[in-house]
Amino acid sequence: MSSKQYFGTDGIRGRVGDHLINPQFVMNLGWAAGRVMSSQDCSQVVIGRDTRVSGYMLESALKAGFSAAGVDVLLSGSVPTSAVAYLVRTLHACAGIVISASHNHYCDNGIKFFDAYGHKLSDQTELAIEAMLGQPMLTEESENLGEAHWLDDADTRYIAFCKSSVPTELSLKGLKMVIDCANGAAHQIAPKIFNELGAEVLTMGADPDGLNINLNCGATNLEALQKEVVVRSADLGIALDGDADRVMMIDNDGSVLNGDQIIYIIARDRVRSGSMSGPVVGTLMSNLGLEKAINSLGLDFIREGVGDRFVMHRLRQDNGILGGEPSGHVICLDKTTTGDGIIAALQVLKVMVEENLALSELVRDMTVYPQVMMNIEVQKIMKPEDLSAFGGYVKQAKKALDGNARVLLRPSGTEPLIRVMVEGDNLELMQVVAQKLTDQVVASL
């Protein structure tokens, strides 16, 4: 299969104004996608966005491109990524498009696609869109142009869907929680969901201005939420990212539960209820402690490449229902079709209520092995093969750890970074080894 020029592991992403994330390219992208999809009897798509100031501009460009291709557009406004995946299915649209750069800062943006079933596009469809991008943009005759309409009830539809992911009788009454919405797409929706289920909800990161998305808040910046949970004497905290497909949770003492621990809690509950199916799928970054804890439940644990796209592919291949990443992407395929921070948090809250236990007690049987992680800034987003020259350094690192640790060197799929990870039980030695590996890579760039 030919390699893709524009699509990465999570759609197309970059800095606003660069050669990809600009009005001209995005309009062409909408047209190309519309042409490919209309050849498959597609007549209507759903477009959503997060709160970035550039989202309005790119929304208009996408809308123009689809209209030129003769495809109607339903505009949902600012909603979580997973809401678009849901709306596509319930509205019987043929595709969903999300304008978001997820956990990145406001100066970045991106375009994500879902098919009619709420899944990421296949490689074949992405390649077909890229091939169409190379063709001259031709506009349909006026009577065949696509129309655009506002979907006024997108948020209420999605709120009802999220609440349906837990038992009707579930009540969060008596729970006090702080929700950090990352000044992103869930800033209105998430507090409503937990409040309507009975919780006392305090909010942070719920005042977006187009520039403050993920700024010192959200799932990638937990310090403020940790302090707020303790100061407010809350039972827990929930941190989403800019498009709410990630979630991290905070216990009442301010300690963090990451995606691995959330996956374990849900897996244990599914086993207890007899509803578990298939293996649990993680990534190369998943903690060794999660693997051992999942195995202790009598389940298989499989590692895939970093990125929820790869986790999803393996789950569907092996008829699994649960997987994700330590960064907070948690996929519950028995509830929805993509990673959803709100739905994942609701599954954990269900267990808390049913077992009447604090978050920390729900993970007491899972040992988390220390991980040392470092980032190396590079000029552009790199591919795994770009790091082949550093294989010798990785071997040296593993040898220095006497084989008692995992060493991973990989490019970020969404940012111009090389990530270094060392995991084991000797934290002091791991820090030394990780720093040496980082220094060697930097010196060789």
By annotation, the residues acting in catalysis are: 102
Residue 428, CB-side half-sphere exposure with 13 Å CA sphere:
0
Q: Is the dihedral of CA 86, 104, 250, 175 positive or negative?
A: negative
- Secondary structure, 3-state, the chain: CCCCCCCECCEEEEECCCCCCCHHHHHHHHHHHHHHHHCCCCCEEEEEECCCCHHHHHHHHHHHHHHHCCCEEEEEEECCHHHHHHHHHHCCCCEEEEECCCCCCCCEEEEEEEECCCCECCHHHHHHHHHHHCCCCCCCCHHHCCCEEECCCHHHHHHHHHHCCCCCCCCCCCCEEEEECCCCCCCCHHHHHHHHCCCEEEEECCCCCCCCCCCCCCCCCCHHHHHHHHHCCCCEEEEECCCCCEEEEEECCCCEECHHHHHHHHHHHHHHHCCCCCCEEEECCCCHHHHHHHHHCCCCEEEECCCHHHHHHHHHHCCCCEEECCCCEEEECCCCCCCCHHHHHHHHHHHHHHHCCCHHHHCCCCCCCCEEEEEEECCCCCCHHHHHHHHHHHHHHHHHCCCCEEEEEEECCCCCEEEEEEEECCHHHHHHHHHHHHHHHHHHC
